[in-house]
Structures are given as C-alpha cells and as structure tokens.
Amino acid sequence: MATSKIHGETSTGFKYTIDPEVIHDMEFIELAAEVDGNGLLFPKFLESMLGAKQKQALYDHVRNKKGRVLIESVKAEVEEISETLAEDSDTKN
C-alpha cells in the first residue's frame, strides 16, 4: 500500500492532505456507510478522513459572513474530496 500522502485542493481553494491508508481502513469504510443513514455521524466521518486540524480548517474555509458553517457547504467540499480519493483508489488498486 502506498505511503505517500494524497494532496489536493477543491475548486473553492481548500487545500488538504489525506493519509491514503484512511481509504483502506475498514472502520472508516463502515463509518462512511453509516453516515447515509445517520447524518449526525458526519462530523465524526470528517474527523476520521481529515483529522481534527483539517476538519476545523475546512469549517473555517466555508464559514459564511454570519460566522455559520453550513452543512451544504461542507458537504460540497467533502464530495469533491471524496471524488479525488475514489480516483486515487482506482488508480492504485
């Protein structure tokens, strides 16, 4: 399994680094599957994928003028990141 980090940037400019082992971690996969049925697990999913510091950086990145972190904004960023992870996983498997 590759050990180099996955680096990326979303279309809105959020830069991230993810350990590729995350996408092969069974507990992460289970958590990802559970998020669809229980949206309250989404913050835990984010932290599992990005780590605590990057999760906070993502929240700060999408924070609106009123200081709110809207679910839709976070979800859009995560979908873009997930697409990159899926592409990375496809090319390495």
Per-residue pLDDT tens over the stretch 14-29: 999 999 888 889 999 9
Residue-wise pLDDT tens digits, 27-79: 999 999 999 899 999 999 999 999 999 999 999 999 999 999 999 999 999 99
Which residue in 6, 7, 8, 15 sits closest to 61, CA to CA? 15
Give the gyration radius of the chain's Cα atoms: 13
Stated pTM of the model: 0.86
Tell me the domain boundaries of the chain.
6-92
Decide: 13 and 84 in contact? Cβ < 8 Å.
no
Residue-wise pLDDT tens digits, 81-93: 988 877 766 545 5
Angle at the Cα of 55 (from 50 to 59), degrees rounded to 5?
Answer: 145
